[in-house]
Structures are given as structure tokens and as C-alpha cells.
Amino acid sequence: MSASKPMGLFARLLSIWVFLAIIAGIGLGALIPSLFHLLADMETAHINLPVAVLIWAMILPMLLKIDYSALHEVWDHRRGVGVTLAVNWLIKPFSMALLGFLFLRMLFVDWLDPAQIDSYIAGLILLAAAPCTAMVFVWSRLVGGHPQFTLSQIALNDVIMIFAFAPIVGLLLGVASITVPWGTLFLSVLLYIVIPVAVAYLLRKLLLAKNRLDDVVHMLDPISMGALLVTVVLLFGFQGEQILAQPLVILLLAIPITIQVYFNSMLAYWLNRKLGVAHSVAGPSALIGASNFFELAVAAAIALFGFESGAALATVVGVLVEVPVMLSVVAIVNRSKGWYEQPLTKVGGELK
């Protein structure tokens, strides 16, 4: 129990810490832009090194918690897994592309820089094309999620992401008429998915053999959470001048992101209820189906389009929206448990 208290405290105050990190990042970016320009120039092969180090520090401790042997339990939760996979890979990236087109190219076109619209849409696509890995553990715990379902679902998503992220992004960016730098995209997948998953898998086996996994994960948890906050500070520092200069753009980008989170989470939640899935599986299924791997999205946007691009700004807005919106989804899932567990009745031959 004691090992979970720090995470519980962080989770309860998560929106506060992230909000403070956002304010700090914007303020520092405006006060000392030269420092952030210097950090932005620290890159190799279009990969920013400070961001790469922070993302590794953030996601590696989370990946250590994933028991890939839990993949054999996927069949036990096949209905919940099926719903989550369908939402993650068949609906979410495409619905985000549609929302981006509808809002940014049609409804909001008069308030946006025409030269940046395609780049904004690219950022939204990158944000939606990868399901969340790290923060899902927090969301699942907050809704009393089935731990083995969460583990098996995340493990399966990570495996799929290795093969599916680049093709889906490439397809949708092509549809959005954006040139896809395939080399950089595949390098991002290698650096932020394939290598961390492989390292975490081997390190987990080594630590289990020495019976030290729990101790190491407990030790690394504060590092992971600290890296998350520093990453937020850094990202908003990079974008601080743009954010202060164009707050309306931030609001306009936040609207389709918020809609897609609620749409996908509620769709997954409703489908699970229709299929008779237990609430302890439906809750994390809805949250995994809606949340985004914003660490990967931000890193890929920076690598593909640069720090000052509309794509990078859109993914950073995703960070801004992610935490408060996901916490509201957690509240909806928890408060609706009584409704969810009510038996379905047939009205006119149809389940209601």
C-alpha cells in the first residue's frame, strides 16, 4: 500500500502540477527565450536531445510496469480489448483527421493563418494516432480498473504501435496533402517506441530475476513524474512566445481535441456496456481509447516539422487539454457506475 501513496497524491493533484508547469513554461519562454532557443538547437537527425532524454526518463519507468506475459490474458478480456483496439486504431486517428478538417479548414478558417492550417492538422493527427502508454496507469487506478486488463491492453497496444503508427500517420498526412518525411518518422518510432519497449522488457526480466523490480520502479516513479513536469515546462517554453501571441489559436485547437476525447471515450464506454463487459474493464477501456501518447506526438511533431511549427503547437495544446479533460472522463466513469451496471432490457426487440 505504501508504494502507491506517492502516485495517489500525484494523481489527485495532477491537474494542479501540470497547470503550474504550463504557467512556468510560458513565463520562462517569454522571459528568457534565448535559453529555449539554445535548447531547441540541441538536436541530431532532427531529434531534439533534451526532449528525447526527458521522454525516456518519463516513459521507461512506466514501461517497466508492463508485464508483456500478460498478453496471454488478452483472450480473457477479448470484448473489452476488441472495443479498445477498434476505437484506438480504426476510429480515433480518422475521427481526429475529420474533426481537424471540419474545424480548422471550414469552421475556423477565417481565424487561422492559412499557411499553418495543414501543419495544425498534422499535429492533431500525430496526437491521435498513438494510444497513451504512461498516464493510463494513473487513469485506470482512478476508476478502479482491472489491473491485468490494463496491463494486457497496454502491452498489446505497444506491440501494434511499433508497426501501425508510422503507416497510419503517413496515410493521414498524405490525405491532408502534407509531405511525409518517412525517414524522420521511422526514426521517431524507433527512438520513442521500439527501443524503450525493448530496453524496458529486458530490464524488467533482469530486475525480476534479482527480485528488485518493485524497489526500482518505486525509486524511478518520482523521476518519471518529475520528467513529465519538466517536459511540460520545456515544451511550453519552446512555444511560450507563440502561445502569448495567439491565445485564440490555442483555444481553437483545443476544441477538436476536447471533442475527440469525449467522443472516443464515451463511444468505448457505451460499446462495452452493450457487450456486457464488466465496469472494471470498461473504465480503463474508455480511457485508453480516448487518451493520447502525447510524449510521442510532441517528439514526432518536433522531429518532423520543427519547434515553431503549427504541428508542434497543436501537440502541445494536446498536453494542455489532456489532463483536465481525462480527469473529467474519470469522474464521468466513476459517477455513472450505477447506470453502467444496470441490466440491459429489451425494448421492441432492441437492447436499451
Model pLDDT, residue 313: 86
For residue 124, pLDDT beyond 90: yes
| Residue 36 in domain | no
Give pLDDT tens digits for 274-307.
Answer: 999 999 999 999 999 888 877 678 777 877 787 7
- Beta strand 43-44 pairing with 47-48: antiparallel
In a domain, 199, yes or no: yes
Highest averaged pLDDT of the listed ranges 82-96, 209-223, 238-252 = 82-96
Distance between CA atoms of residues 348 and 352, nearest Å: 9
Distances (CA, A) of 61 to 72, 171, 223: 23, 32, 8
* In the chain, % of residues over pLDDT 70: 86
pLDDT of residue 26: 87
- Residue 252 makes CB contacts below 8 A (sequence gap 6+) with 103, 104, 108, 111, 112
Dihedral sign (CA 308, 226, 323, 161): positive
pLDDT at 177: 58
Total structural domains in the chain? 1
Count other C-beta atoms under 10 Å from residue 54's C-beta: 23
pLDDT of 348 strictly over 80: no
pLDDT of 266 > 90? The answer is yes
Taking 70 as the threshold, does the pLDDT of residue 133 lie above it?
no
**pLDDT above 60 (res 226):** yes
pLDDT bracket for residue 71 (50, 70, 90): low
Handedness of CA 105, 109, 111, 112 (dihedral sign): positive
Average pLDDT over residues 236-260: 86
Q: What is the mean pLDDT of residues 127-147?
A: 79
| Each residue's pLDDT tens digit, 302-329 | 777 877 788 988 988 887 787 788 889 9
- pLDDT for the residue 235: 77
Query: 48 or 80, which is more confident?
Result: 80
Q: Residue 156 in contact with residue 289, Cβ under 8 Å?
A: no
State the pLDDT confidence band at 107, using cuts at 50, 70 and 90.
Answer: very high
CATH number of the domain to which 107 belongs: 1.20.1530.20
* Statement: residue 256 has pLDDT above 90: yes
User: What is the residue range of 168's domain?
Assistant: 48-335
263 pLDDT above the threshold of 80: yes
Q: What is the mean pLDDT of residues 119-139?
A: 83
Query: Could you tell me the three cell numbers for 161?
Result: 504501435
Q: Say which residue, 16 or 261, is predicted with more confidence.
A: 261
Asked if residue 213 belongs to a domain, the reply is yes
Q: Is residue 267 one of the residues assigned to a domain?
A: yes
Mean pLDDT, range 65-81, rounded to an integer: 77
- pTM (whole model) above 0.75: yes
Strand partners, 47: 44
Q: 10 or 312: whose pLDDT is higher?
A: 312
348 within a domain of the structure (yes/no): no
Q: Is the pLDDT of residue 167 over 90?
A: no
> Does a structural domain hold residue 91?
yes
Across the chain, mean pLDDT equals: 82
Tell whether 347 is covered by a domain. Answer: no
Indicate whether 344 pLDDT > 70: no
What is the structure's pLDDT at 268? Answer: 96
Within a domain: 30: no
Query: What average pLDDT does range 331-342 have in this prediction?
Result: 92
Q: What is the pLDDT of residue 4?
A: 40
